[in-house]
Amino acid sequence: ILNVEQSPQSLHVQEGDSTNFTCSFPSSNFYALHWYRWETAKSPEALFVMTLNGDEKKKGRISATLNTKEGYSYLYIKGSQPEDSATYLCARLYNQGGKLIFGQGTELSVKP
Amino acid sequence: NAGVTQTPKFQVLKTGQSMTLQCAQDMNHEYMSWYRQDPGMGLRLIHYSVGAGITDQGEVPNGYNVSRSTTEDFPLRLLSAAPSQTSVYFCASSFGTVDNEQFFGPGTRLTVL
């Protein structure tokens, strides 16, 4: 079973709020966990690729953590801005051949 | 570099017709993949390839064929289009897999009537 689950499905916050999303995945035979940002009418763009248990990555106001033993990753956005409005996708790499399975995404809407 | 390119951008087919969605990349990436976007389901992997001559099935391969004769190109063939194949199709490529992000093309919007 190639389950990658994301929660919540959607989130509506006010500008300035901090927020976080969860990505859950099977913990066995772990290779990598990807996070992508997907704006409406555009293509997904990579935020982070994480491979090691305990990894923490940061890009501006966005950061992510990884727990491979329990099978979850968190994405944090500090001080959300309207331009952060997008769908955030996580994906688990199932083999070294590139089998990348995506979750259903978390749709974030930030109101001014 | 053009990155990952996809043609056509839009296509309308009738049930039973066949067609090929084109994908090309100029970044010398070994790994390429095809996804379809379905509402509420994120991206679903159709087929992927680790290099020229090697392909494998993803989550939803039925009704689609692929081949990889060159590093640059990875076409997706719909053998007999069905309304259930109405979707937006994305091609992606990466230099490696474990430590490397995927780069996505602009997508092809396909409608099957």
Is A52 in CB contact (< 8 Å) with chain B?
no
Residue B91: pLDDT over 60:
yes
Rg of chain B over Cα atoms, rounded to whole angstroms, equals 13
pLDDT of amino acid B1:
79
Residues in chain A with pLDDT values less than 70 = 1-2
Please state, in angstroms and rounded to a whole number, the distance separating the CA atoms of residues A52 and B87.
Answer: 35
pLDDT of amino acid A96:
86
Q: Work out the percent of chain A whose per-residue pLDDT is above 70.
A: 98
Tell me if B104 and A43 make a contact (CB, 8 A cut-off). Answer: yes
What count of other Cβ atoms lies within 10 Å of the Cβ of residue A90?
31
Please state, in angstroms and rounded to a whole number, the distance separating the CA atoms of residues A34 and A30.
Answer: 12
| Average pLDDT, integer, range B90-97 | 93
| Average pLDDT, integer, range B92-109 | 93
Ranges assigned E (strand) in A8-55 = 10-14, 19-24, 32-38, 45-50
Please state, in angstroms and rounded to a whole number, the distance separating the CA atoms of residues A6 and A36.
Answer: 13
| Average pLDDT, integer, range B48-74 | 96
Report the residue of A49, A51, A90, A94 to disrupt the B interface, i.e. the one with the largest count of B CBs within 10 Å. Answer: A49
> Predicted confidence band at B39 (pLDDT cuts at 50, 70, 90)?
confident
Tell me if B48 and A49 make a contact (CB, 8 A cut-off). Answer: no
Residues of B within 8 A of A98 (CB-CB) are: 31-33, 48-50, 94, 97
Q: What average pLDDT does chain A have?
A: 95
Q: Work out the percent of chain B whose per-residue pLDDT is above 90.
A: 90
Please state, in angstroms and rounded to a whole number, the distance separating the CA atoms of residues A13 and A7.
Answer: 15
pLDDT of amino acid A2:
66
Residues of B within 8 A of A44 (CB-CB) are: 43, 90, 102, 104
| Average pLDDT, integer, range B49-54 | 94
